[in-house]
Amino acid sequence: MDQVILVVYFVALSILTFFALHGFIMIYFRNKSKDVQFKALDKPLEDKVVTIQLPMYNEMYVVERLIDSVCELDWPKDKLEIQILDDSTDETTQIVAKKVEEKKAQGFDIVHIRRNNREGFKAGALKYGLQFAKGEFVAIFDADFVPRPDFLKQTMKYFSDDKVGLVQTRWEHMNYDYSLLTKVQSFSLDGHFVIEQHVRSKAGFLMNFNGTGGVWRKECIIDAGNWEADTLTEDLDLSYRAQLKGWKFVYLRDVTTPAELPAEMNALKAQQFRWTKGTVEVSKKLLPMVWKSHLPLKTKIVSTYHLIGSYAFPFILLSTIINVPLVFIKNSGYHEDFFNAMSIFILGFLSTFFLYFFAQKDVHEDWQNKIILYPLFMAGSMGFALNNSRAVFEALLDRKSEFVRTPKFKIEGKKDKWVDKKYKAKINFSVYIELLMAIYTFVGLVAAIYFMELAAIPFHLLSFLGYTFVSVGSLKHALANKK
């Protein structure tokens, strides 16, 4: 049995190291690649009509903030159309209707679009609204975003190249300081937005629209086959289909669009589940097309890393489970050479660490204060492994699920509260398994301390903290919402 456990552990760590080496690839191209040159006009294309699409479903707390911010965009009123794509089933619809009348009276071309059903969820709403869009360009904002007034002037000047199909801005987090949960989320997202998206755009690799905070050329959407609802990440799906058709994407790392981070654990878990499952669904759908294309080999490799990254979660879960008996196996006095050889896997840790190190250093003046969140980010990755592994397996088994929106509560400062608000994220049964995992990893931590396995203690500590943070946080937040 020891031999079986050791072999499985070695395979799991080898696969995780393979995934983690993506960080070194990103850092290499960050330092070596010259920026792909996209000609930007001195002035934006203010003679072009832009349609702003605002897809929403039950967003009563943030919808007025969103509409107000969009109406403050610095763009000629006669060249701006605003579509409220409202699939709501609550009082959001009445709030929107009142706000639309207010903005119409102020001279805005704003329409309130309702469907008879929620078919296709967000993708269906965007596709439906596109039929009536007047604009040659389409900007999209989720309900938790607050675009800056100069958003269109910063993005539209890059459409001077007729092959540019999308301009994406970096997400900024307006409630970063709200709690430890939002701080760790911000840290995690910076890895994607500061390094991965920037490098993919800079080096000419395939990148993705992030679902919001970007502007599409309408022709590009249509040419790529329009929005499709067969995955939970319709943005990633359309992005790859468009670039496989030859369209170019521009990413603006230094142009940011503020957004609200989930402040409640169960809402965050639902969001992570959707993103993870959707990415696996897109990988199954489009990865064969990537490899059949005429793209350069390095682009295919980077795209593969991009699309299969979520597959790492089951192996994180597996390695966590195996690590507890491993403490006892190691102290049986055998397999010393095997455990000495395990030091090679430190490469995976270093690769991931440097990716997030540069993500903080590249855009934050106080990066020294932010990089200390890395251990908590690692703990969170372990704690979310069960939730996200379930998403991976559901996608692999073609088990379809509803597009579960992330509740927004207009959390901007520390005085704002999400407790007692109408929208409540559902608590999944898996939280009780996560609680058992917290107890299980605590056994591993105690054993590592007892046997003085100094190298193993940090891993067991992070695993224990991660599962405790996720499980207790889920239960605590769910109970707080019931009061």
Note the pLDDT tens digit of each residue in 315-356: 999 999 999 999 988 887 677 777 777 778 888 899 999 999
Average pLDDT, the chain: 93
Instruction: Give the pLDDT of residue 333.
Output: 65
Question: d(Cα 459, Cα 444) in Å, to the nearest integer?
Answer: 10
Q: Domain of 135: which CATH number?
A: 3.90.550.10
Same domain, 112 and 190: yes
- Verify whether residue 420 is a known catalytic residue: no
Pick the catalytic residue from 86, 87, 142, 144.
87
Measure the CA–CA gap between 83 and 130, rounded to whole angstroms. 9
Q: Helix, strand or coil for residue 422?
A: coil
Length of the chain (residues):
483
Q: Is the domain of 339 the same as that of 227?
A: no
Q: What would you report as the CA-atom Rg of the chain, rounded to the nearest whole angstrom?
A: 23
pLDDT digits (tens, 9 = 90+) for 258-303: 999 999 999 999 999 999 999 999 999 999 999 999 999 999 999 9
Which comes out higher in pLDDT, residue 178 or 36? Answer: 178
| CA pair distance 268, 178, nearest whole angstrom | 14
Q: Please identify which residue in the block is written with the tokens 């704003």.
A: 110
Among 86, 144, 235, 237, which one carries the catalytic annotation? 235
Name the domain boundary from 264, 286, 301. Answer: 264
Report the distance separating Cα 46 and Cα 50, nearest Å.
Answer: 9
Query: CA 11, 17, 22, 24 torsion: positive or negative?
Result: negative
In the residue annotation, 142 being an active-site residue is answered as no
> Containing domain of residue 150, as a range?
34-264
In a domain, 283, yes or no: no
Instruction: Please tell me whether residues 60 and 107 are part of one structural domain.
Output: yes
Q: Are residues 254 and 105 in the same domain?
A: yes
pTM above 0.85, yes or no: yes
Would you say residue 166 has pLDDT above 70?
A: yes
Q: DSSP 3-state assignment of 120?
A: coil
pLDDT score recorded for residue 111: 98
Domains: count for the chain: 2
Q: Strand pairing partners for 432?
A: none
Question: Which of 206, 241, 264 is the last residue in one of the domains?
Answer: 264
pLDDT recorded at residue 420: 78
Structure token digits, residue 289: 């097309």
C-alpha to C-alpha distances, 169 to 145, 286, 339, 366, 375, nearest whole angstrom:
12, 24, 45, 22, 28
Residue 436 has pLDDT above 90, yes or no: yes
**Per-residue pLDDT at 35 exceeds 70:** no
